[in-house]
Amino acid sequence: MAIQPWRKGIVIRILQEAHATHRYFIQVPELERFDFEPGQFVTLDLPIGEKTSERWRSYSIASWPDDSNIFELVIVLAEAGKGTEYLFNQIKEGDELTFRGAQGKFTLPENIDRDLYLICTGTGIAPFRSMVHHILNNHVTHHHIYLIFGCRKKSDILYYDELVDLSHKIENFHYHPTLSREEWEGKKGYVHQVYEELLKDKPPGYFLLCGWKNMITEARHKLADLGYEKKDIHFELYG
Over residues 50-75, the pLDDT tens digits come to 888 889 999 999 999 999 999 999 99
Q: What does the buried/exposed string (b/e) look like for 106-131 if buried means 16 or more CB atoms within 10 Å of the residue's CB?
A: bbbeeebeebbbbbbbbbbbbbbbbb
pLDDT tier, 4 (very low <50, low <70, confident <90, very high otherwise): confident
Report the CATH number that the domain containing residue 187 is assigned in CATH. 3.40.50.80
Indicate whether 26 and 126 sit together in one domain.
no
Q: Report the chain's mean pLDDT, rounded to a whole number.
A: 94
Q: What is the pLDDT of residues 83-124, one digit of tens each?
A: 999 999 999 999 999 999 899 999 999 999 999 999 999 999
Indicate whether 123 and 160 sit together in one domain.
yes
CA distance 128 to 210: 9
Indicate whether 167 and 234 sit together in one domain.
yes
- Give the domain range for residue 91: 6-103
Indicate whether 17 and 97 sit together in one domain.
yes
At 200 the pLDDT is 93
Considering the domain boundaries, does residue 185 fall inside one?
yes
Indicate whether 56 and 130 sit together in one domain.
no
Indicate whether 47 and 88 sit together in one domain.
yes
pLDDT tier, 204 (very low <50, low <70, confident <90, very high otherwise): very high
The pTM of this model reads 0.95
What's the rounded mean pLDDT across residues 30-50?
A: 96
